[in-house]
Structure 1
């Protein structure tokens, strides 16, 4: 029944996504205006994150950025529905610029394992499709709470040639990734999700301590795999993207975990600062606080809003 419902959901999403790009973008702008007017959860979280990350930014400038973030978030949601339900080859034609592809090709050819760190910037679903077009890839993901939602994600993230393996970010995932790296495989990891308490290390992110995954650091340090950052950045006014692949700082693979996670956050922050409106500020990145700091969850008052 779960799979059947997920396929019905896919049909519904596909019918919505058939609208022309210009219509989808206008719908996204209307959604963003409603989100801001109603001050929904995403709006409140984005505003709080901006207060934390840009404390010295003038209030009026922060509000302009807040509007741009909500507009980008709504557009990205509808944009992704279209990418999920169209042939991947047609989607990849939206990538008008490619930078650093030789780094990716060389890392795959070396056969020593490759970790693609893909921050929540631009459109990471289009990036997944590009990666699958180049090589078999295993994508680490955090499953949604809904079984139907997870079944839906497995449908929309699969590719026609079966080159995408989706790995739940749970205990057995670590063993799977070790085997994959030893075999010279490729994995994609979203490096800016808050791990569970005890599964990460605190490091600065936009000047605020954030619990950060140690998996990427330990996996790269112990396996010797190459680490590259990759993202599909929106360019221009239309549905156009630039694919960018960049080398990760060497410190990401440091045997000192604290140094490794600090380098990871600094690299993600550098990408997010390219165009803050394209970063996922609607995510509660700072929920867990350093032990003994006396700091409270900065979103607690929003949860009782």
Structure 2
């Protein structure tokens, strides 16, 4: 049975890797058309993705009317189709292809001023817009590094890992050895990217309000900032549908990023994350089960 599972995983990985390479070569309009069809079917059926989106919106936007909710869901599926069609170029694209997808940079001085002061910058990036383009922009312009969790599909993993390092960036694994290497590099200055809005593994987070509901939130970011003295910045790559590219938005943390209490830090961090999401709600990854871990085993999703 174990041998069959390994063989099946290997075959699936090979198929996924070839699919990524194929979509990179195909016309963008064709790839988007397929992704849009997949999301249209998902929206019109009781697919898992559509159910999760609806359950998340019911929690986070209870004030919306039924027509407003349906309109937002339609927009979310459109942006999900965009995201699905963009990954191949984000991973395999040349430097010029990546930069051609970047539009305006808002408040780049937030990073530049800190680096001029010989400070390390930690950029907290949400699952909003397309975070892969934000990483590519960072590693093209700065000595960038970040965390990397290997995929169970080896062939796909090789594509993603190469994309994270091909413009000079460094990727540290999520195991203890990788965390130690990450902390060491934090003390040597540069720009680190981290995605703080996913539920961490059991024991690596605490419950913190997010849109008024308990969300299991990582404690790692707080530990890294306290131990390294790095400065926290929020950054996002937001899809500009009118220009078919991405605008980079950077902003300082609106709270003390060296707050000694992790409970207070996480509460203030989630408040700022929520405020950012509310600016571009249609581009957030609402099909992710952000509230899957709840106190006392409460179930949010069916």
Scaled by the length of structure 1, what TM-score is found? 0.88
State the 1:207 CA deviation. Answer: 1.1
Partner of 2:70: 63
For the aligned residue pairs, the C-alpha RMSD in angstroms reads 2.4
1:69-89 deviations in whole A, cap 9, x for unaligned? 122112111112222222022
Of the three residues 174, 190, 193, the one matched with 2:195 is: 190
In 1, Cα distance between the equivalents of 2:40 and 2:73? 11
Counterpart-to-counterpart distance in 2, 1:260 and 1:213:
11
Among residues 103, 106, 109, which one is paired with 1:99 in the alignment? 106
Distance 2:67 2:85 in 1: 28
Aligned CA distance change for structure 1 residues 240 and 285 (closer, same or farther; 3 Å): same
Deviates more, 1:13-22 or 1:190-199: 13-22
User: How much does 1:120 deviate?
Assistant: 0.6
Residue deviations 1:19-65 (CA, integer Å, cap 9, x gap): 33333333332121111233322111111111111122222321221
Is the 8 Å Cα contact of residues 142 and 190 (structure 2) preserved in structure 1? Answer: no
Say which SS state the counterpart of residue 76 (structure 2) adopts: helix
Q: 1:258 aligns with which of 246, 257, 263?
A: 263
* 1:171 maps to which of 171, 176, 194: 176
- Tell me how far apart the structure 1 counterparts of residues 35 and 177 of structure 2 sit (CA, whole Å): 38
2:95 counterpart of 1:88 = yes
Query: Which aligned pairs between 1:79-228 and structure 2 lie closer than 5 A?
Result: 79-159=86-166, 161=167, 163-228=168-233
Aligned-partner Cα distance in 1 for 2:114–2:17:
35
Q: Which consecutive unaligned segments of at least 5 residues does structure 2 have?
A: 1-6
Q: CA deviation at 1:295?
A: 5.6
Q: How many residues align?
A: 295
Structure 1 residues 8 and 157: alpha-carbon distance in aligned structure 2, compared to 1, 3 A threshold = farther
User: Residues 17-36 of structure 1: matches in 2 within 5 Å?
Assistant: 17-36=24-43
The 3-state SS of whatever aligns with 2:52 is helix
Decide which moves more: 188-197 or 39-48: 39-48
- Note if 1:297 corresponds to 2:302: no
Deviation string for 1:224-251 (max 9, x for gaps)? 1111111111113342211111111233
Q: Secondary structure at the match of 2:126?
A: coil
Could you say which residue in structure 2 is the equivalent of 1:51? 58
Q: Which TM-score applies when normalising by structure 2?
A: 0.89
1:76 touches 1:123 (CA, 8 Å); kept in 2? yes
User: How many angstroms apart in 1 are the aligned matches of 2:177 and 2:197?
Assistant: 20
For the pair 1:240 / 2:241, whether they are aligned, the reply is no
**Alignment CA distance shift 1:250-1:221 (3 Å):** farther
How far residue 11 of structure 1 moved from its aligned partner, in angstroms, is 4.8
